[in-house]
Amino acid sequence: MKNPNHWLHIAQALAAQGMKTAPFTGVDAASYADPMDQFQIEPALTNLVLGVPRPLGFPGLEILRPWQVPAWEYRWTTFGSERHAVKDAKRGPSAQIKHSTFGIATTSGKQERYSWKYGFDLDQFSAADQRLGIAEKCAANARSIVEMAMEWERADLLTTAATYPAANRLAIGAGDEWDDTTPGDPRDHVRTVVDAVADANGLDDEEISVFLPREVYRAAIADADFITFKRNQTTGLGGNAFTVKAQNLQLLASYWEVGKVWTANMRYQNTAGVMVPMYGDVAIVYYDGDMVSQAWDISQGQYEFGRTAMWNRGIAQAPYMEEDTTTRWYPWHGYQEPLITNSALAGIITNILT
């Protein structure tokens, strides 16, 4: 029989997570089962682990921002592009109003479940007052495994060229790589994709952002033309005057004529135990929904490149005892589905490095 406090525990855990629901959510999930019916959650441990500051920043969640959905399976609405058409809407006295239909489609989604657990042999507990600390460490480590697996899925989606329309892709040829001895022109490469995204959607350049993995960023600031541009700047730069990196990113945005350039060093440990870049040698050019000019479109979700559908930020299952191994297990669970809502709002540059 389910614990009578089951739903109270769920409400307490979710209330502490501060998830924001996307304004364009068109969800009908009443017929779907609550995924948390499967097990009893531990709200105190959940909140304790979620309250620990995280050293890792996930680029995938910056580009595909979290979108709270109310159930494991859900539906969301997409709209056509008819509003961009120019039609003869003038009407004379007593003339019939001209009209057309408006396209609306519904897309189904289903989150994937990610789970991991860490255990601790009961004989290794040296004192009862250590139990909460051990529980927190086990659950926090399990959370790290789950979150890395979730970021891997986002990175895989974002670095796959087929995610983007053919017109928004640029594969750099041999000899034109940014770190070649006689490199190509990074600004020309970036502008090619920025122009494609801007023209396909009626966007201004400053509404577009560019994400560069660390190695790509290092190659970008070594571009001879950018160095010349940088030397010619006489105006003051915002932000921390002692942060050279912040100045470089601001100057790259100015040089490439985009709204924002940012970088992150997201790495993972491969099967050989070597730390390698998760996002490889790409540049992701995308519309940043925080800088929307067509504010009336955001309610329909049309001006969103993509989102990460999430039921919550993760939860700790109530620890349980495995008698035959005398091990107490501390599971962590996460739910997500990275999805693209309008692929025309982004583009990718690949094969940037030699």
Tokens of 198: 């801007």
Rg (CA), the chain: 24
Question: What's the whole-number mean pLDDT along residues 185-189?
Answer: 97
Cα–Cα distance for residue pair 175/274, rounded to 1 Å: 28
- ∠240-244-246 over CA atoms, to 5°? 60
Confidence of residue 130 (pLDDT cuts 50, 70, 90): low
Mean pLDDT (the chain) is 82
Q: CA dist 10 to 6, 14, 144, 153, Å?
A: 6, 6, 22, 26
Give the predicted TM-score (pTM) of the model. 0.82
Residue 106 has a pLDDT of 77
Confidence of residue 108 (pLDDT cuts 50, 70, 90): confident
139 φ, ψ to 5°?
Answer: -65, -40
Contact 111, 27 (CB under 8 A): no
Q: CA dist 134 to 56, 128, 148, 210, Å?
A: 22, 10, 21, 41
Superfamily holding 6-78+106-350: phage-related protein like domain (3.90.1690.10)
Q: Which amino acid is at 123?
A: D
Instruction: Answer whether residue 32 shows pLDDT above 50.
Output: no
Confidence of residue 154 (pLDDT cuts 50, 70, 90): very high
**Look-up of token digits 């058409």:** 85
Cα–Cα distance for residue pair 168/172, rounded to 1 Å: 13
Confidence of residue 39 (pLDDT cuts 50, 70, 90): low
Confidence of residue 93 (pLDDT cuts 50, 70, 90): very high
Contact 313, 67 (CB under 8 A): no
Residue 19 has a pLDDT of 47
Question: What's the whole-number mean pLDDT along residues 117-141?
Answer: 78
**Look-up of token digits 């399990």:** 142
Question: What's the whole-number mean pLDDT along residues 242-247?
Answer: 80
Say which residue, 38 or 296, is predicted with more confidence. Answer: 38
Instruction: Answer whether residue 16 shows pLDDT above 70.
Output: no
The three-state secondary structure class of 203 is: coil
Q: What percent of the chain has pLDDT over 90?
A: 51
Residue 233 has a pLDDT of 81
The partner residues of 180 in beta bridges, in order of sequence, read none
Confidence of residue 312 (pLDDT cuts 50, 70, 90): confident
- Return the closest-CA partner of residue 111 out of 307, 286, 305, 289: 307
Tokens of 108: 């189904």
The three-state secondary structure class of 308 is: strand
Question: What's the whole-number mean pLDDT along residues 10-19?
Answer: 46
Question: What's the whole-number mean pLDDT along residues 114-140?
Answer: 80
Residue 79 has a pLDDT of 61
Angle formed by the axes of helices 244-256 and 224-231, nearest 10°: 100
Concatenating the DSSP letter of every residue in 210-235 gives: EEEEHHHHHHHHT-HHHHHHHHT--S
Instruction: Answer whether residue 160 shows pLDDT above 50.
Output: yes
Confidence of residue 125 (pLDDT cuts 50, 70, 90): low
The three-state secondary structure class of 11 is: helix
- Return the closest-CA partner of residue 58 out of 321, 256, 313: 313
pLDDT digits (tens, 9 = 90+) for 67-88: 888 788 888 776 666 666 788 8
The three-state secondary structure class of 120 is: strand
Ordered by start, the domain boundaries in the chain are 6-78+106-350
Say which residue, 26 or 117, is predicted with more confidence. Answer: 117
Q: CA dist 112 to 35, 41, 71, 101, 308, Å?
A: 11, 18, 11, 36, 11
